[in-house]
Chains A and B, each alone.
Chain A
């Protein structure tokens, strides 16, 4: 019995169950919290959770570190905004288009660097993120620069948006669960743990990395696009490196290579960052310090610790 509990598929099912339990708890929140501000905060943390889950698929499960998740969210947001502004494309097409365009940008970047081992992906995505933000901010005629662009909205109701985000989150979780449970997920982890060994077993390492990267970018694009329609504004600030830092700290603090870890991290980090706002703008300082300490002393994150304790109890 104890041996069975250690199986990867069991751990994944447990992980997914815990993540869905958190989603169920989130679904009940509007019954108790009615203030639009409080709901808005949880909504934004769900936005970050989707990005964190996408980044975690790439970094946690496939071992490839992109430093541009926020930049891809920005690309998603701008795709919807530009299509709506210039071509009057309705949101029903604009949001899927954001997914496609973020994935395409990811595909092009991936083509360049994913066949190389080493830190090329981190370097290129970081350069890409900074430069994409500057280019969008400088293209005043086309994107209105730092002023940002207006985006149409799906619904005016805040509770409506809350459930749209929550529904998207559940859909993303189901997608990731399906992906990780199958062959592809195992291939990704094989690539992370031992690329040479994986390719000696006939796994097309570059292709697996590419799939993970494109899915991750697409999820970021989706999150950015939805967030744009919610706030009815996209600006280059969506792609700030600080935002990437926030995503990274969510995953590292919550727990790498875990669905619940990324989700829990996003909620904890964003909610406590709102709370820390009362003490002056120290949020990023606290989280950056925590990231370093977690990476150094508790690499499994909070969920890694909790899951070990919980599963020991169950076994």
Chain B
């Protein structure tokens, strides 16, 4: 019975991880760089949700789209202001593509954490729940109303995203640009606009993940760090740049973490991701669904 409860809760957390990790995987798929400010998309979403509903008195159901808009806006700005040099012929001395991306996104991450810390304050907030239902049992699974509703939304978002990538024109364009940027441009796809779209979608998903978790985790300025670290583990486990790999890996990490924290050690549950990372790098560095990367 406990096992079933852990499985369900692990899958729920896996869905939240997936919301973040998929965006990271899409960005890597298209630009081949890692966004080290991804945790801050999560943080901005959580803060927008909490502040809009607490300070402006907007009902939580309306604050949720507000968080999505804030995340999308941030994603758009990041691409527009910081990522363009990666593919707009930025032939400058001394800096190369990967280095530029690491330095700029890491700097952005610090900037956003400390801006929020300075403007809003370093203390944590308790987000208002979407519905006011206490703990209840669904068969053997113990849930709270907030967790259940957030999980339903997260699953709906994942399905919507899968359909968007598989079916819509934009989704097909994203796949095409990820496969071959030049080839996609030759076929008449606006690669720049597609990259912009990816950042908007990634920012939105990570922000929604933050907003949905806000009532459960009490956001503080550095709340994004651990979701981000877990997303990095997920993206490596799933295969760098693979969207489906990231979804599967997120569920695997969520479930195995739930079991680890009960059966092995609760204090070191956050360290579990590192074990997985080490295991993947040793046994299958290309990840579950990734192409084999070039070894030097």
Q: Would you call A249 and B107 a contact (CB within 8 A)?
A: yes
Q: Would you call B107 and A291 a contact (CB within 8 A)?
A: yes
The interface residues of chain A lying within 8 Å CB-to-CB of B229 are: 126-127, 130-131
Shortest CB–CB separation between residue A82 and chain B, in angstroms? 18
Q: Would you call B225 and A65 a contact (CB within 8 A)?
A: no
Using CB atoms, name the residue of chain B closest to A283.
B114
B114, B235, B285: which contacts A285 (Cβ < 8 A)? B114
Cα-based distance from A281 to B115 in the complex (angstroms): 10
A278 sits at the interface (CB 8 A)? no
The answer to whether residues A292 and B294 also contact, given A123-B232, A127-B274, A300-B94 and a CB cut-off of 8 A, is no
Q: Mark B97-141, 1 if CB is under 8 A from A, else 0.
A: 011101110111011001101100000000000000000000000
Q: Would you call A295 and B233 a contact (CB within 8 A)?
A: no
Shortest CB–CB separation between residue B140 and chain A, in angstroms? 30
Q: Mark B257-295, 1 if CB is under 8 A from A, else 0.
A: 000000000011011011001100110010000000111
Q: Mark A250-261, 1 if CB is under 8 A from B, else 0.
A: 001000110000
The answer to whether residues A135 and B236 also contact, given A300-B94, A304-B94 and a CB cut-off of 8 A, is no
The interface residues of chain B lying within 8 Å CB-to-CB of A127 are: 229, 232-233, 273-274, 277
Q: Would you call A67 and B94 a contact (CB within 8 A)?
A: no
The interface residues of chain B lying within 8 Å CB-to-CB of A138 are: 267-268
Cα-based distance from A281 to B293 in the complex (angstroms): 43
Q: Would you call B107 and A292 a contact (CB within 8 A)?
A: yes
Q: Would you call B296 and A117 a contact (CB within 8 A)?
A: yes
Q: Would you call A292 and B108 a contact (CB within 8 A)?
A: yes
The interface residues of chain A lying within 8 Å CB-to-CB of B95 are: 256, 295, 299
A-B contact count (CB 8 A): 142
Shortest CB–CB separation between residue A207 and chain B, in angstroms? 11
Q: Mark B220-237, 1 if CB is under 8 A from A, else 0.
A: 000001100100110110
Chain B interface bracket (under 10, 10 to 19, 20 to 34, 35 or more): 35 or more
Chain A binding surface SS class:
helix
Cα-based distance from A258 to B128 in the complex (angstroms): 51
The answer to whether residues A295 and B236 also contact, given A126-B229, A285-B114 and a CB cut-off of 8 A, is no
A206 sits at the interface (CB 8 A)? yes
The answer to whether residues A120 and B236 also contact, given A288-B111, A299-B94 and a CB cut-off of 8 A, is yes
Cα-based distance from A285 to B111 in the complex (angstroms): 5
Q: Would you call A285 and B115 a contact (CB within 8 A)?
A: yes
Q: Would you call A115 and B296 a contact (CB within 8 A)?
A: yes
The interface residues of chain B lying within 8 Å CB-to-CB of A295 are: 95, 100, 103-104, 107
Q: For residues 109 through 165 of chain A, which have their beta carbon under 8 Å from a beta carbon of chain B?
A: 112-113, 115-120, 122-124, 126-128, 130-131, 134-135, 138
Q: Would you call A281 and B93 a contact (CB within 8 A)?
A: no
Using CB atoms, name the residue of chain B closest to A137.
B267
The answer to whether residues A119 and B94 also contact, given A130-B226, A296-B82 and a CB cut-off of 8 A, is no
Q: Known pairs A63-B96, A295-B100, A296-B82. 11 more at Cβ < 8 A?
A: A67-B36, A115-B296, A119-B98, A242-B110, A245-B110, A248-B107, A284-B114, A285-B115, A295-B107, A296-B85, A300-B94
List B residues at the A interface (Cβ < 8 Å): 28, 32-34, 36, 82, 85, 92-96, 98-100, 102-104, 106-108, 110-111, 114-115, 117-118, 225-226, 229, 232-233, 235-236, 240, 267-268, 270-271, 273-274, 277-278, 281-282, 285, 293-296
